[in-house]
Amino acid sequence: MANENNLNNQKAVALKYDIQRDSAPVVTAKGQGETAKNIIKIAQENEIPIKKDEDLIELLSQLDIDKEIPPSMFKAVAEIFSFIYEMSKNKEEINKKIENKVFNKD
């Protein structure tokens, strides 16, 4: 029962940032429970780094999909992107993987 409650309460948000197209990071997917599990699974399968931040996830999960994050979240999200980019050898490859997997409706 406790594990089931943890799964139902789990949240995930996927962000992307195209420096040439976007003026700020954009929410590309979000969800709770099984949807969150699927977002995390796609990231893991594609070796996309995952950063846990429960406070930030609460704020990001309130945003609409396909909307840019507000300026009040820039600093916190910049720290997340910095973490991801440092862990990644190829930024372009990550963005392509995210777009191909998150937007691909198999």
> What pLDDT was estimated at residue 47?
76
Q: Which pLDDT belongs to residue 8?
A: 75
pLDDT, one tens digit per residue, over 78-97 is 888 887 777 665 666 666 77
Domains of the chain: 2-102 (3.40.1690.10)
Task: Give the Cα separation of 33 and 26 in Å (integer).
Answer: 21
Residue 23, CA distances (Å) to 5, 9, 73, 101 in order: 37, 31, 13, 23
DSSP letter (8 states) at residue 67: -
The residue type found at 60 is L
Specify the 3-state DSSP secondary structure of 38.
Answer: helix
Report the pLDDT value the prediction gives residue 82, as an integer from 0 to 100. 83
**Distance between CA 93 and CA 4 in Å, rounded?**
34
